A and B are shown apart, each in its own frame.
Chain A
Amino acid sequence: MAFEGLGERLQATMDRIKSKGKVSESDIKVMMREVRLALLEADVNFKVVKQFINQVKERALGSDVMQSLTPGQQVIKIVKEELTDLMGGDNQKINLSQKPPTVIMMVGLQGAGKTTTAGKLALHLRKNYNKKPLLVAGDIYRPAAIDQLETVGRQIDVPVFALGDQVKPQQIVTEALDHARAEHQDTVIIDTAGRLHIDEGLMNELKDIKEIAKPDEIMLVVDSMTGQDAVNVAESFNDMLDITGVTLTKLDGDTRGGAALSIRSVTDKPIKFAGMSEKMDGLETFHPDRMAQRILGMGDVLSIIEKAQATVDEDEQKVLQQKIKDQSFTLDDFLEQMDQVKNLGPLDDLLKMMPGANKIKGLDKMQMSGNEIDHVQAIIRSMTMDERENPSKINASRKKRIARGSGRTLQEVNRLLKQFNEMKKMMKQMTSQKGKKKNPFGNMGLPF
């Protein structure tokens, strides 16, 4: 991400004001320009930005900013509040019908992630609501679309209703609903073909399906990397179908995701889910407040910490922290940590979500792939317990033995031991520094 966050953007103005000690109306104007640029860079639609800026400006011109000692912070606070407000406050859950089956209809442009999200939703509903979902193959146009949904169904063990690509989607949906009732499938998720919002013929097809299926949820699936066009897409789909919810996909990428704000502002419909990976478990509930921060380039720290916490056992974490504190962290602990890191997913993905991480030189080069972790683990596993606890005992002949045993080179063994040494030094610093400067990883219990 090459873009500056709002904080950095406002820095210069804040510095100037600090030396002057007083905020003028023209200072506010300059700040508003920075806010505007930050939002435009994040792909928020320019009309939405304009509206938003007017709102913020009004509040900023009120007494709270003008009289504040930290006007920059105040502006950021107002922007964040207004943005979170616009994004819709709390997370909203999926609509479920009292009378089964609940019908969910997936709609959106080509390639947005409808089919993938249909599968993810099926899994989500079964796991968290104990539902019995049925997936319906309503995309008869895209080559192998049915095959794709059937594969997804197999992966998550959810039945797929398909009638091939020679039957009209309207008919497929009609029969699917009968089928669901007969088989007591209490949730029906209809996958539809991607279509342009200006394609009248295909948009009418969706209207027909809506008429037939009377869905409880019409889920508009939008790619989070969408630019200015997001308003047109969201507005058209909403006008035609009166959508009930939105899923924003591919948020595991490095996009700021300003489209989220655009969509909210033109449809006033809640964004309910975030797609966070290509895999079936990669669906998360959408948190408007966190999205607001992400759009402003302040990083999604909470999501990262949550992800880390979900993977790292809390008790283990406490033990670990104690070990770090009293310097008894061993290579064996390191081995265990590696497992947790592996569960967390690629390290660089995680780091890239950190605020300011784009500023760290060489971060893009720093990668620890699954392979490398495997290699390091192999080396440690070839050590005796005694060696793992007292690495200083590992002399040249022991190194040779370890290298042979793990199938790695002597250099790799050396490198690992050196790195471990440095890591311990770093831990020592971290613990002695505690309270002074917050290390973002400090309370995650991860030794890097």
Chain B
Amino acid sequence: MSFLKRLKDRFQPSREKEAAGKSVEEQNEKLDDGLISIEEFEEWEQEQIGYKFKAGLEKSREKFQNEINELMARYRTVDEDFFEALEEVLIGADVGFNTVMELTDELRHVAKVENITESRDLKETIVEKMVEIYERNDDLPETVNIQEDDLTVILVVGVNGVGKTTSIGKLAYKYKQEGKNVMLAAGDTFRAGAINQLKVWGSRVDVDVISQSEGSDPAAVMFDAINAAKKRGTDVLICDTAGRLQNKGNLMNELSKMKNVIQKTVPDAPHESLLVLDATTGQNALSQAKAFKEVTDVSGIVLTKLDGTAKGGIVLAIRNELGIPVKFVGLGEQLDDLQEFSAENYVYGLFADMISNAEELDDSGGDDV
């Protein structure tokens, strides 16, 4: 079986299953009645997530695939023009510059060694290499580090306006839905209205928000919050922080102070340090990831605003160069517009059409070459 076919089988829920359109209730009932096994239920659930994720990426994907297909149609032979155009397609998706160069250099090599002259014959290798880059750091924990019977502290950091506070609202909702006791800490004491913004999310989700007045020391807010969380037996404490550009030394120091205050009370906290990245951001996201990783030991990324036309391809480079996995994606401004990230679905999403096109070629015999 070709690599593409394998990829496809792995990620695309079979059409019949999708068409059946079973609801959560239906499936739950079946599970209760013993009609399906827990494994079957989980498999179904996984498909649903994949499906919703795909729908969210639809717009970004469409453009990307059009570009790839156009590329293959226009450049039939594998030559420098082809590689230059391929570089542009990948760069157009904001895939990190070095990653693109690495990828195309490898492809040049493969084409030379295997004597590939038709661009179509290189398609499969392109996808293969992309996935490879993604899976290179396969041992990275993709799941969120939640302490089962103890307080979990999640610190949320990033530059200005990327969607930290909104993502915190969504995360609070998610953990609340899972039956957890959630608390929020209003660590952005700088931006106008930031505390109230978090409070609005707090009341939407119905969770406690620990705050002080605007202008107060964010480390002091962290101190309050972590103690309150311990006292009240909170399961998950999510800490908001002010946006800060990564080149501002004094603000980055402030962040490390906040982290230290948290660690004084709960030594192994923060259990997760999530860096929020805006999918529209270009190469600078790499510099952001580097700087925040140094200060707060970032354990995962929340990639927001994927409901737009930006593709956020820079996460490929970040994963490749810094080994930080994406854990969630933001697909809108509502409470439930947060999805757990699946690298496979993401790559699949970017390449779905390419795969089905290749499939068609496969199906039509493939000996017309």
Q: How far is the CB of A33 from chain B (nearest CB, A)?
A: 9
Query: Which A-chain residue is minimally distant from B63 (CB atoms)?
Result: A232
- Asked if residues A198 and B308 are in contact (CB atoms below 8 Å), the reply is yes
Quick one: CB contact mask for B151-174 with A, threshold 8 Å, 1 for yes? 000000001111100000100000
Contacts A197-B308, A346-B250 given; indicate if A223 touches B278 (C-beta within 8 A).
yes
Stretch at the interface among B111-119, B187-195, B229-237: B187-195
Contacts A197-B308, A198-B59, A370-B250 given; indicate if A155 touches B283 (C-beta within 8 A).
no
> B162 — which chain A residues lie within 8 A by C-beta?
111
B247 part of interface (Cβ distance < 8 Å): yes
Q: How far is the CB of A267 from chain B (nearest CB, A)?
A: 16
B281 part of interface (Cβ distance < 8 Å): yes
A217 part of interface (Cβ distance < 8 Å): no
- Asked if residues A43 and B159 are in contact (CB atoms below 8 Å), the reply is no
> B280 — which chain A residues lie within 8 A by C-beta?
109, 223, 226-227, 229-230, 233
Query: Which A-chain residue is minimally distant from B248 (CB atoms)?
Result: A349
Stretch at the interface among A122-130, A145-153, A317-325, A375-383: A145-153
Query: Which A-chain residue is minimally distant from B282 (CB atoms)?
Result: A227
Query: Which A-chain residue is minimally distant from B245 (CB atoms)?
Result: A253
> A256 — which chain B residues lie within 8 A by C-beta?
283-284
Q: Give the distance in Å from the alpha carbon of A228 to the alpha carbon of B307 in the complex.
A: 16
A310 part of interface (Cβ distance < 8 Å): no
- Asked if residues B159 and A227 are in contact (CB atoms below 8 Å), the reply is no
- Asked if residues A352 and B247 are in contact (CB atoms below 8 Å), the reply is yes
- Asked if residues A278 and B249 are in contact (CB atoms below 8 Å), the reply is no
> A233 — which chain B residues lie within 8 A by C-beta?
280, 309
B246 part of interface (Cβ distance < 8 Å): yes
Query: Which A-chain residue is minimally distant from B290 (CB atoms)?
Result: A2
Q: How far is the CB of A30 from chain B (nearest CB, A)?
A: 12
Q: How far is the CB of B326 from chain A (nearest CB, A)?
A: 16
Q: In the complex, which of the residues A110, A113, A225, A250 contacts B333, with contact meaning CB atoms closer than 8 Å?
A: A110
Quick one: CB contact mask for A96-118 with B, threshold 8 Å, 1 for yes? 00000000000001111101000
- Asked if residues A43 and B284 are in contact (CB atoms below 8 Å), the reply is yes
> A151 — which chain B residues lie within 8 A by C-beta?
192-193, 214
> A278 — which chain B residues lie within 8 A by C-beta?
160, 190-191, 243
Q: How far is the CB of A5 from chain B (nearest CB, A)?
A: 14
Stretch at the interface among B85-93, B219-227, B263-271, B359-367: B85-93
Quick one: CB contact mask for A344-364 with B, threshold 8 Å, 1 for yes? 001011001000000000001
- Asked if residues B94 and A227 are in contact (CB atoms below 8 Å), the reply is yes
Contacts A43-B284, A254-B284, A369-B250 given; indicate if A111 touches B193 (C-beta within 8 A).
no
Which of B169, B191, B249, B310 has the most chain A CB within a 10 Å cutoff?
B249
Q: Give the distance in Å from the alpha carbon of A293 to the alpha carbon of B174 in the complex.
A: 46
Query: Which A-chain residue is minimally distant from B89 (CB atoms)?
Result: A46
Q: Give the distance in Å from the alpha carbon of A210 to the alpha carbon of B92 in the complex.
A: 32
Q: Give the distance in Å from the alpha carbon of A141 to the alpha carbon of B166 in the complex.
A: 12
Q: How far is the CB of B261 from chain A (nearest CB, A)?
A: 17
Stretch at the interface among B3-11, B130-138, B196-204: B196-204
B75 part of interface (Cβ distance < 8 Å): no
Q: In the complex, which of the residues B93, B97, B160 contacts A113, with contact meaning CB atoms closer than 8 Å?
A: B160
- Asked if residues A367 and B283 are in contact (CB atoms below 8 Å), the reply is no
Q: How far is the CB of A234 from chain B (nearest CB, A)?
A: 12
Q: In the complex, which of the residues A37, A43, A152, A232 contacts B192, with contact meaning CB atoms closer than 8 Å?
A: A152
A283 part of interface (Cβ distance < 8 Å): no
Q: In the complex, which of the residues A46, A115, A147 contacts B88, with contact meaning CB atoms closer than 8 Å?
A: A46
Q: In the complex, which of the residues A111, A255, A369 contacts B284, with contact meaning CB atoms closer than 8 Å?
A: A255
Q: How far is the CB of B315 from chain A (nearest CB, A)?
A: 12
B338 part of interface (Cβ distance < 8 Å): no
- Asked if residues B281 and A225 are in contact (CB atoms below 8 Å), the reply is yes
Contacts A147-B196, A225-B281 given; indicate if A46 touches B308 (C-beta within 8 A).
no
Q: In the complex, which of the residues A110, A142, A228, A369 contacts B249, with contact meaning CB atoms closer than 8 Å?
A: A369
B327 part of interface (Cβ distance < 8 Å): no
Q: Give the distance in Å from the alpha carbon of A176 to the alpha carbon of B159 in the complex.
A: 33
Q: Give the distance in Å from the alpha carbon of A111 to the alpha carbon of B163 in the complex.
A: 7
Q: How far is the CB of A82 from chain B (nearest CB, A)?
A: 20
Contacts A226-B282, A253-B284 given; indicate if A141 touches B308 (C-beta within 8 A).
no
- Asked if residues A346 and B91 are in contact (CB atoms below 8 Å), the reply is no
> A109 — which chain B residues lie within 8 A by C-beta?
280, 305, 308
Q: In the complex, which of the residues B200, B283, B305, B314 contacts A41, with contact meaning CB atoms closer than 8 Å?
A: B283
Q: How far is the CB of A248 from chain B (nearest CB, A)?
A: 13
Q: Give the distance in Å from the alpha carbon of A151 to the alpha carbon of B197 in the complex.
A: 12
> B249 — which chain A residues lie within 8 A by C-beta?
346, 348-349, 364, 367, 369
Interface residues of A in 201-247 (CB under 8 A from B): 223, 225-230, 232-233
- Asked if residues B283 and A227 are in contact (CB atoms below 8 Å), the reply is yes
A3 part of interface (Cβ distance < 8 Å): yes
A298 part of interface (Cβ distance < 8 Å): no
B145 part of interface (Cβ distance < 8 Å): no
Quick one: CB contact mask for A168-196 with B, threshold 8 Å, 1 for yes? 00000000000000000000000000001
Q: In the complex, which of the residues A226, A228, A352, A364 contacts B92, with contact meaning CB atoms closer than 8 Å?
A: A228
- Asked if residues B308 and A369 are in contact (CB atoms below 8 Å), the reply is no
Query: Which B-chain residue is minimally distant from A232 (CB atoms)?
Result: B309
> A46 — which chain B residues lie within 8 A by C-beta?
88, 91-92
Query: Which B-chain residue is minimally distant from A41 (CB atoms)?
Result: B97
Quick one: CB contact mask for A22-52 with B, threshold 8 Å, 1 for yes? 0000000000000001001111011000100
A75 part of interface (Cβ distance < 8 Å): no
Q: In the complex, which of the residues A148, A198, A367 contacts B253, with contact meaning CB atoms closer than 8 Å?
A: A367
- Asked if residues A112 and B161 are in contact (CB atoms below 8 Å), the reply is yes
Q: Which residues from chain A sit less than 8 Å from chain B, CB to CB?
A: 1-3, 37, 40-43, 45-46, 50, 109-113, 115, 141-145, 147-152, 155, 196-198, 223, 225-230, 232-233, 250, 252-256, 258-259, 278, 346, 348-349, 352, 364, 367, 369-370
Q: Which 6 A-B pairs have the closest CB atoms?
A: A227-B282, A111-B161, A148-B193, A151-B192, A143-B200, A43-B282
10 example contacts (A-B, Cβ-Cβ < 8 A) are as follows A42-B283, A148-B192, A148-B196, A196-B308, A197-B308, A227-B285, A233-B309, A253-B159, A278-B191, A369-B250
